[in-house]
């Protein structure tokens, strides 16, 4: 369970408990995500109150209860109001789920957690830890961002990463004309804004209901896809009749957009290691009417088992996901500074295997949803040193800021500048 993200853990719990009420599920998901987002602040408060013990000394069920208790009674209320009835109700609920004997060891702390001064706790720390608690980020990541961006830009980035970026829709022209779909969406109460320079991409300014409750989503005429992810497919610039390799393709966002840009003419070979994720890929390609796609389950760290070359290879390797902490807050608590180098090793293996699969004159694009220098410019620098037949080329459109380390033809996107996930993309052409 420790390795599951918020969504996967909730889905498993819903199935186990047989919960079908959509409102209950939605509330539970929000509660889990927002508690997880603030895990370092909540744990700091708990550890101060229960000292010399630590929250990690207790079973997982007790840890989860303490975090939810502090979040609901203190953080939600901004620590200004104390609701004794609510606190007692939460405690009773904890007893009914975990058993009164399990909670007996921490009962003595609940009153102190309800009345302790959070400001005195957060004021007694150094600058890095203060920003860490303020922006709900690991201290190692705050230090990393300070070194990478400088203090001012780092704080802007970290604060922007508190808030999930807006929803974006990609209109699928394989299933219906773009203007027809937009008219349907507007009739359903959507307010949309076209994203400049990105084909078929719209920001959702307003909708009457959550996106996943609309039947139009099941019809395959739209795909909920972040602006940065749409940019990755557009930057590859596939044409009809091209042969494209989509590496790390599941769950299918890139594949279906590539097929759309190719007007369902040509061939896309979609490779991924996870058979479970590829089942989702199959559902998505069917839903979106992408008919030129072939799924291949394989470990591309080892090889790319296709006996031909591609006009375009699109690689979106596993990464630390430091650009999407706002949407996936649990990811940041699973990482450490060592995680970056571990990912770099995987990324270098994958991109090396991609090199021989690009035809002469063809293109290799590399993208991650990470903002770290090592996983992005560092990987590209190393790759170009070992593969002199490749060279960086400009990416169109230019919607990001230039890459670091002088790799200005690469582009970076940031939540505080571009109102989307943090992202990196490089595009290279192969020539003899």
Q: How far apart are CA 286 and CA 283, in angstroms?
A: 5
Q: Is residue 293 part of a domain?
A: yes
Question: Which residues are within 8 A (CB) of 105 and not within 5 positions of it... i.e. 6 or more apart?
Answer: 58, 62
**Co-location of 409 and 297 in the same domain:** yes
Domain that holds residue 126: 6-135
Q: Of 135, 151, 178, which residue is a domain's last?
A: 135
**Eight-class DSSP state of 29:** H
Q: Is residue 256 in some structural domain? A: yes
* 339: enclosing H helix or E strand: helix 337-355
Spell out a b/e string for 152-177, using b for 16 or more CB atoms within 10 Å of the CB, else e: eebbbbbebbbebbebbbbbbbbbbe
Q: Write the CATH number for 72.
A: 1.10.940.10
Residue-level pLDDT at 79? 61
Q: Are residues 240 and 388 in the same domain?
A: yes
Query: If you average pLDDT over each of 27-41, 320-334, 391-405, which comes out highest?
Result: 391-405
Q: Is the pTM of this model over 0.75?
A: yes
Domain end point (choices 87, 107, 135): 135
The pLDDT-based confidence of 209 (bands split at 50, 70, 90) is confident
Domain match, 279 and 417 both: yes
Counting DSSP H helices and E strands in the chain, the numbers are: 20, 13
For residue 207, tell me if it sits in a domain.
no
Round to whole Å and give the CA distance between 53 and 376.
40
Number of domains in the chain: 2
Confirm whether 172 is domain-assigned.
no
Q: What is the CATH number of the domain that holds 384?
A: 3.40.50.150
Q: Which long-range contacts (CB under 8 A, 24 or more apart) does 41-47 make?
A: 41/75, 41/122, 41/133, 41/136, 42/66, 42/67, 42/70, 42/71, 42/75, 43/67, 44/121, 44/122, 44/133, 45/70, 45/74, 45/113, 45/116, 45/118, 45/121, 46/70, 46/109, 46/113
Q: What is the pLDDT of residue 21?
A: 79
Based on the fold, state whether residues 99 and 246 are members of the same structural domain. Answer: no
Q: Are residues 282 and 415 in the same domain?
A: yes
> What is the model's pLDDT at position 16?
76
Report the share of the chain in percent with pLDDT over 70.
98
In a domain, 109, yes or no: yes
Domain identity same for 115 and 243: no
Whether residue 222 is contained in a domain is answered as no
pLDDT digits (tens, 9 = 90+) for 54-91: 999 999 999 999 999 999 998 887 666 788 889 999 99
Task: Output the six-digit token pair for 67.
Answer: 């975090």
- Are residues 374 and 269 part of one domain? yes
Q: Is residue 241 part of a domain?
A: yes
Cross-strand bridge partners of residue 243: 267
Same domain, 128 and 239: no
Asked, for residue 146, whether it belongs to a domain, the answer is: no
Three-state DSSP at 84 gives: helix
Q: Last residue of a domain, which of 135, 160, 183?
A: 135
């Amino acid at each position: 369970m420790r390795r599951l993200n918020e969504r996967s853990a909730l889905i498993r719990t819903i199935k186990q408990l047989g919960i079908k009420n959509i409102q209950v599920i939605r509330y539970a998901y929000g509660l889990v995500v927002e508690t997880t987002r603030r895990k370092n602040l909540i744990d700091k408060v708990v550890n101060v109150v229960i000292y010399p013990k630590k929250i990690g000394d207790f079973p997982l069920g007790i840890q989860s209860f303490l975090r939810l208790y502090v979040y609901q009674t203190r953080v939600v209320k901004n620590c200004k109001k104390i609701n004794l009835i609510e606190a007692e109700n939460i405690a009773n609920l904890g007893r009914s789920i975990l058993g009164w004997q399990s909670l007996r060891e921490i009962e003595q702390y609940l009153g102190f957690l309800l009345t302790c001064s959070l400001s005195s706790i957060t004021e007694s720390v150094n600058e890095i830890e203060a920003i860490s608690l303020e922006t709900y980020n690991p201290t190692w990541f705050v230090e990393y961002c300070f070194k990478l961006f400088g203090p001012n830009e780092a704080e802007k980035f970290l604060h922007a990463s508190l808030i999930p970026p807006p929803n974006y829709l990609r209109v699928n022209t394989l299933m219906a004309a773009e203007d027809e779909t937009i008219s349907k969406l507007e009739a359903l109460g959507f307010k949309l804004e076209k994203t400049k320079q990105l084909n078929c991409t719209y920001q959702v300014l307003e909708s009457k209901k959550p996106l996943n409750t609309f039947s139009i989503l099941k019809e395959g005429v739209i795909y909920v896809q972040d602006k940065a992810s749409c940019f990755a497919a557009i930057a590859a610039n596939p044409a009809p009749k091209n042969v494209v390799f989509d590496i790390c393709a599941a769950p299918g966002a890139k594949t279906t957009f590539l097929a759309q840009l190719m007007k369902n003419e040509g061939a896309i070979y979609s490779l991924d290691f996870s058979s479970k994720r590829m089942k989702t890929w199959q559902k998505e390609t069917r839903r979106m009417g992408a008919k030129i796609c072939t799924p291949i389950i394989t470990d591309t760290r080892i090889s790319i088992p296709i006996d031909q070359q591609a006009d375009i290879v699109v690689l979106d390797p596993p990464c630390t996901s430091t650009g999407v902490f706002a949407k996936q807050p649990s990811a940041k608590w699973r990482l450490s500074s060592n995680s970056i180098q571990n990912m770099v090793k995987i990324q270098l293996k994958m991109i090396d295997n991609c090199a021989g699969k690009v035809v002469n004159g063809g293109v290799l694009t590399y993208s991650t949803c990470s903002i770290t220098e090592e996983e992005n410019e560092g990987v590209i620098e190393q790759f170009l040193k070992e593969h002199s037949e490749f060279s960086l080329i400009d990416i169109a459109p230019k919607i990001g800021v230039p890459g670091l380390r002088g790799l200005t033809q690469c582009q970076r996107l940031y939540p505080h500048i571009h109102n989307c996930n943090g992202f990196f993309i490089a595009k290279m052409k192969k020539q003899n």
